[in-house]
Amino acid sequence: MSPIPARPFAFPLDPSQVALIVIDMQRDFLEPGGFGASLGNDVSLLQAIVPATARLIAGFRAAGRPVIHTRECHRADLSDCPPAKRSRGAPGLRIGDTGPMGRILIAGEPGAEIVSELAPLEGELVIDKPGKGAFYATDLADHLARLDVTQLVFAGVTTEVCVQTTMREANDRGYECLIAEDATESYFPDFKRATIEMITAQGAIVGCAAPVGAIVAGLGGAAGTNAPLLAAEA
């Protein structure tokens, strides 16, 4: 166990007990013409965290620790997309409509894929999720129980939507949670800052926050068991 510098206090990172969850680093959120852009957002802000997220993923892989990726997407027939989600607001394109990267937020379409720089390795678990939280309507909880981890590090987009929702779900399930503050981003920088403040306030009511460099350094020399999950098992 190596306590790493974190907010609001040092995080007791245990390289034998930790897994990484990278939330929704998909083309639909990071590239023009996708879901994020259809909602009126400037996607370039999110692209900026790709290098730091890649360093974080590389650190977990080098330490032999599990890397889990999520993708927010729906079935082609939209049977798992609540009408309230699809019909809300006035986006340029709705979920299921066809854009330059295929149908918006639909599994198997180019836009739903994780950006190439962060592509999952064979054997890494990829969770397709219909909601904002990665535990809702998925088998993530079962996979984590099998991995026998007690700590989760979170990265990805967007900080206040899918990352925060998933981190809260994990916190309620008893995991020690840590957000990688330079490997997460929002379309609204103030929302990112406020989210990390909310998460870490009140004695880390949801979890701690630390930079990628500190997390990767804390994993260094880990004798963790490599426990890759075969996608086929998912």
What does the binding site for ligand TIU look like in residue numbers (CB under 6 A)? 24, 29, 39, 72, 132, 157-158, 161-162, 187
How far is residue 158's CA from residue 77's CA, in Å, rounded to a whole number? 25
User: Mutual orientation of helices 164-172 and 189-204 as an angle, nearest 10°?
Assistant: 20
Sequence-ordered list of residues with C-beta below 8 angstroms from that of 45, at least 6 positions apart, any chain: 185, 186, 187, 189
Q: How far is the CB of 127 from ligand TIU (least distance, A)?
A: 12
Contacts of 121 (CB under 8 A, 6+ apart): 61, 67, 228
The single residue of 28, 81, 129, 132 carrying the catalytic annotation is: 129
* DSSP H or E segment with residue 67: strand 67-72
Q: Which of 28, 73, 132, 162 is catalytic?
A: 162
Task: Report in angstroms how near the CB of residue 159 gets to ligand TIU at its nearest.
Answer: 8
CA distances to 103, 194, 198 from 87, in Å: 16, 28, 29
Residue closer to ligand TIU, measured from CB, 44 or 226: 44
Minimum CB distance to ligand TIU smaller for 35 or for 175:
35
- Residue 110 in 3-state DSSP? helix
Cα 170–Cα 94–Cα 118 angle in degrees, nearest 5: 50
User: Which one of 14, 24, 128, 182 is the catalytic residue?
Assistant: 24
Residue placing its CB nearer to ligand TIU in the complex, 67 or 155: 155
Nearest distance from C-beta of residue 35 to ligand TIU, angstroms: 7
The nearer residue to ligand TIU, 132 or 168, going by C-beta atoms, is: 132
Q: Which two tokens stand for residue 49?
A: 């965290």
Q: Please say if 24 is a catalytic residue.
A: yes
Pick the closer one to ligand TIU by CB: 67 or 161. Answer: 161
- Catalytic: 192? no
Distance between CA atoms of residues 25 and 116, nearest Å: 10
CB of 187 to ligand TIU, least distance (A): 6
Catalytic residue check, 162: yes
Q: How far is the CB of 72 from ligand TIU (least distance, A)?
A: 5
Residues with catalytic function = 24, 129, 162
